[in-house]
Amino acid sequence: MNIQPFTIAVPQADLDDLAGRLAAARWPREALGAEWERGVPLAFLKELTVYWAQGYDWRAAEARLNAFPQFTTEIDGQRIHFVHVRAARPDALPLLLTHGYPSSFTEFTEVIENLRQDFHLVVPSLPGFGFSTPVGGDGWAMGRTARAWAELMSRLGYDRYGVHGGDIGAGVSGAVAGLAGEHVAGLHVTTDPATAAATATFLPGMADRLDPADPVDAAALERMAKFRGAGNGYLAIQNSRPQTIGYLLNDSPVGQLGWIADSVERWTDLPYDRDWLLTNVSLYWFTGSGISAANFLYEQAHSTDWGAPPAAPQGFAVFGADATVRRLIDPPAGCHWTEFERGGHFPALEAPKLLADDLRAFFAPLR
């Protein structure tokens, strides 16, 4: 039950080591293929690496993150790191926010600022991600994580709360709502929880249920094809060989940067802060969590522990460039459903105010 305050303090020796590795990066002689067709373009990654080494300020990012109250606790043998921001109103509804891959708790910083007057906010790092390391054993997939989240909310004294997530976070949030339904006021997601449990954007065969002659379905198929093109490679590797790719992610900051930037660039629709990308990648680098985060997807791909279907009221916020399609999800009748024309797979990063407003609208009648 012990909860300890936590402050991010990366040793200067780690910063110096990163600078040396970036300066000594071994680049290929030439770029092959069209831009983004085979992965991250050489010129793009070189420019981003130079900025990481010479323009980006980790200490400033560290100070901004440390402005949020952070804590660690041990649950089921695993160290769990989390942000906990209490609203000024004691009767505010607690809200549990869960990130996905290749993201971190840092994705929610602007959403926290938008919601901190209305909700008590709990934002944990998934097991094996960031400061929720090292991993305390096998089996840390969505089901086990959901049980840890329910325990975390209980330790914080929250008997009734809302849950939200996207990507892996949607699957974990859905599992919390199925596991601890009597405590969950509502489940709000930006991607389908059942699909997230399969660690893919959509289940095999789902595209076959769409009609390419229908304009709405055709647009959805186009989004799916784009998402799949950027996503199948990393999923295939991390679902099967996380240890092998983990050596690259743990030893080469340029490799870790390229691995994450590939997904972020391809899956975003609106402009995002380049410094956030480097803060996110730096977090993976300094904590050595690239390999354990990759392993989370392997654990989920080989898990049958998906929990019970959520019984709580459900809300969806769907952002236009993502691959979430209402007809494929078939949400419960009367559920909250909001569609935004723009935005992609990381709405907390791309459109934090839109997401925050939708969370307020969904949970207002559920308080």
Q: Are 247 and 212 in contact (CB under 8 A)?
A: no
Q: Name the helix (H) or strand (E) containing 274.
A: helix 274-287
DSSP3 helix / strand / coil % (the chain, rounded to 5): 50, 15, 35
Q: Name the helix (H) or strand (E) containing 164.
A: strand 161-165
Q: Which residue is associated with the tokens 């804590």? A: 71
Q: Are 282 and 290 in contact (CB under 8 A)?
A: no
In DSSP terms, which residues pair with 4 in a beta bridge? 72
How far, in Å, CA of 166 to CA of 170, rounded? 4
Q: Are 164 and 172 in contact (CB under 8 A)?
A: no
Report residue 301 as tokens. Answer: 């791909």
Q: Are 363 and 162 in contact (CB under 8 A)?
A: yes
Cα angle 51, 57, 59 (rounded to 5 degrees) comes to 155
Report residue 81 as tokens. Answer: 């790191």
Report residue 340 as tokens. Answer: 């935004």
Catalytic residue among 101, 161, 284, 298: 298
The four Cα atoms 302, 108, 133, 13 give a dihedral, to 10 degrees, of 140
- Catalytic residue check, 345: yes
Catalytic residue among 99, 101, 167, 192: 167
- Catalytic residue check, 192: no
How far, in Å, CA of 340 to CA of 8, rounded? 35
Q: Are 48 and 274 in contact (CB under 8 A)?
A: yes
Report residue 50 as tokens. Answer: 């130079």
Q: Which residue is associated with the tokens 């990366």? A: 10
- Catalytic residue check, 298: yes
- In terms of DSSP bridges, do strands 78-85 and 93-98 run parallel, antiparallel, or are they unpaired? unpaired
Which residue numbers are catalytic?
167, 298, 345
